[in-house]
Amino acid sequence: MASARLGAPGDLSEREREAVEALLYQLADDEFVVADRYTDWQCQGPTLEADIAIANIAQDELGHARLWYDLLQDFGYEETELIWEREAEEFRHATLCEQSFESGDWADAVVRSYFYDVAEFLQVEALAETSYPRIADRIEKVNGEEHYHREHAQNWLERLCEDAEGTRRVQAAVDDLYPYALTLFEPTAKEDDIVELGIRPTPLAQLREEWYDLTGAFLDGLGVSVPDREALDDLVAEETGRDGSHTDDWQRQYNELTYTYRMLDRTEARRLMADPDEV
Amino acid sequence: MSDTPEPPTDAQSIPDPTDGPQYCAYTDYRSGEVPEDAVVPKNGADSEGHERAVWDALFEVEDPEMPVSVVDLGLIYDVAVTEDDAGTHAEVTMTLTYTGCPARDMLLDDVREAAASPDGVDDASVELVWSPVWSVEFVSEAGREDLREFGVSI
């Protein structure tokens, strides 16, 4: 049954607003944190094209993070409280996003972006049916900037799996990252309301099934194996991110992200120089 | 050049990446037209008074990377000028080509300042929207000329 359309930001009931906020934090934090991680590869990619591609994908994801943080600002939050002054444990991104990269292992970056981008594709597809108009207005734009991320990851997986050493590295990255990839589908405290109110009508559990089928079939075709479906529930990483629990990698990334802000003793995200028109 | 493969001729023939590695899937150039019933972008052609003045000012705002007006680029979806006790207010509705646009704040500031600049307009605000999604077909004929001269194929 289709859910009733929700109202404008100021017209939501408390239950509606809390569910919308929970979903937006999950979406925005995933994009923001994974984008920041991708930039670790900037100037380090194996080829110039790969370098530019991952930097550009990072920029796309930052743009999408901003779209979702904008919708949190509808509720009166400021950029400073959403990012720079939010406590590390208040972030709700899945812990896949925060994992530091295995040094020099491009397969790690490629497998991670593949897992992430297939999940994002499914999430965005589910959000095309959202009952919240402010999200609905943005979905087509996001979708148009996503499809080539999957193409990029799939093309690289195919290239890496052309020989035994590459396949071994991809398999190792799949094995290492799988428990964290599953956290993308772990629910926030508001998951039931998010689904019942039609904000994202498809439950995360169902998206995980679709993700498992898609990624499993593709990797299998490359000679890379994934865990059995029955084993997934036990395999999910202990820190899911969705409930505020994170791995140590996040604290390090958070410190680095906010370092300049804190070092300059900023109490607001200032401009570098005064606006000449206002001097 | 007889060995050069023919480029795909439509969206369906873009190769499926799962068929095997493809190193340049985008060799397909198409042109299209904005449907006659499209509601955006606008260019203020029928406007008058303060709204005309605001449109004229917006034509002077250029994309930070290319010498083309934001109006000719098809970014401006609406201009509305209202008057009340507080004064005369211009409201511009616009989009951007790309969500990750690093010049976002700069461009929105430029548009807001331009919209507030005509005599008789007291202040202006800009609403950024993402629907309908901007496409290259929104670029006006004058904008296409400007872009071609700059060296962008369109």
Neighbours of A4 (CB within 10 A): 9
Do the domain assignments include residue A3? no
Three-state SS across A35-56? HHHHHHHCCCCCCHHHHHHHHH
pLDDT for A260: 83
Size of interface A-B (CB pairs under 8 A): 50
Chain A residues close to B113, C-beta within 8 Å: 277
Neighbours of A230 (CB within 10 A): 7
Q: How would residue B40 be classed by pLDDT, with cut points 50, 70 and 90?
A: confident
Contact B21 A60 (CB under 8 A): no
Tokens matching residue B120: 């008789």
Please name the member of A137, A145, A218 whose beta carbon is closest to the beta carbon of B131.
A137
Among A141, A150, A224, which would you mutate to test the B interface (most chain B Cβ atoms within 10 Å of its Cβ)?
Answer: A141
User: What DSSP string runs through chain A?
Assistant: -PPPPP--GGG--HHHHHHHHHHHHHHHHHHHHHHHHHGGGTTTSSSHHHHHHHHHHHHHHHHHHHHHHHHHHTTT--HIIIIITS-GGG----TTTTPPPPTT-HHHHHHHHHHHHHHHHHHHHHHTT-S-HHHHHHHHHHHHTTHHHHHHHHHHHHHHTTSHHHHHHHHHHHHHHHHHHGGGG---TTHHHHHHTTSS-S-HHHHHHHHHHHHHHHHHHTT-----GGGHHHHS-S--STTS---HHHHHHHHHHHHHHHHTT-SS---SS--GGG-
pLDDT for A274: 72
Domain ranges, residue A99: 10-278
Chain A residues close to B133, C-beta within 8 Å: 140-141, 144
**CA distance, residue A100 to nearest chain B CA (Å):** 24
Residue B17's identity, in one-letter code, is P
Half-sphere exposure of B107 (CA within 13 A, CB side): 26
Q: Omega before B67 cis (within 30°)?
A: no
Q: What is the ipTM of this complex?
A: 0.84
- Residue of chain B with shortest Cα separation from A140: B133
Q: How would residue B1 be classed by pLDDT, with cut points 50, 70 and 90?
A: very low
* B148 DSSP 8-state letter: H
**CA distance, residue A184 to nearest chain B CA (Å):** 23
Chain B residues close to A28, C-beta within 8 Å: none
Q: How would residue B8 be classed by pLDDT, with cut points 50, 70 and 90?
A: very low
Cα dist from B17 to A48, A108, A147, A152, A157, whole Å? 21, 20, 11, 9, 11
Q: CB–CB of A203/A258 below 8 Å?
A: no
Q: Average pLDDT of B92-98? A: 96
Do the domain assignments include residue A2? no
pLDDT for A1: 46
pLDDT for A87: 95
Over pLDDT 70: what percentage of chain B? 76
Tokens matching residue B70: 């934001």
How far is A127 from A130, CA to CA, in rounded Å? Answer: 5
Backbone angles phi, psi at A136, to 5 degrees: -55, -40
**CA distance, residue A90 to nearest chain B CA (Å):** 25
Contact B130 A67 (CB under 8 A): yes
**CA distance, residue B42 to nearest chain A CA (Å):** 19
Give the least confident one: A169-173, B4-8, B35-39: B4-8
Please name the member of A60, A141, A150 whose beta carbon is closest to the beta carbon of B130.
A141
pLDDT for A4: 86
Do the domain assignments include residue A168? yes
Among B133, B134, B136, B137, which would you mutate to test the A interface (most chain A Cβ atoms within 10 Å of its Cβ)?
Answer: B133
Do the domain assignments include residue A4? no
Q: What is the full per-residue pLDDT of chain A (279 aa) written as tens digits?
A: 457 899 999 999 999 999 999 999 999 999 999 999 999 998 888 999 999 999 999 999 999 999 999 999 999 999 989 999 999 999 999 999 999 998 889 999 999 999 999 999 999 999 999 999 999 999 999 999 998 999 999 999 999 999 999 999 999 999 999 999 999 999 999 999 999 999 999 999 999 999 999 999 999 999 999 999 999 999 999 999 999 999 999 999 999 999 888 887 766 555 666 777 776
Do the domain assignments include residue A1? no
Chain B residues close to A277, C-beta within 8 Å: 113
Residue B7 has pLDDT above 80, yes or no: no
Residue B151 has pLDDT above 50, yes or no: yes
Report how many domains make up chain A: 1
Do the domain assignments include residue A212? yes
Which segments of B41-122 does DSSP mark as H helices, in order? 49-59, 104-115
Q: Does B2 lie at the interface with A, CB-CB under 8 angstroms?
A: no
pLDDT for B21: 56
How far is A135 from A198, CA to CA, in rounded Å? Answer: 12
B 64-103 residues with CB < 8 A to A = 98-102
CATH number of the domain that residue A37 is part of:
1.20.1260.10
Q: Does B25 lie at the interface with A, CB-CB under 8 angstroms?
A: yes
Bridge partners of residue B83, in order along the sequence: B88
In chain B, what are the domains?
Answer: 49-150 (3.30.300.130)
Contact B131 A140 (CB under 8 A): yes
Q: Average pLDDT of B94-109? A: 93
Chain B residues close to A137, C-beta within 8 Å: 129-131
Q: How would residue B2 be classed by pLDDT, with cut points 50, 70 and 90?
A: very low
Among B94, B99, B131, which would you mutate to test the A interface (most chain A Cβ atoms within 10 Å of its Cβ)?
Answer: B99
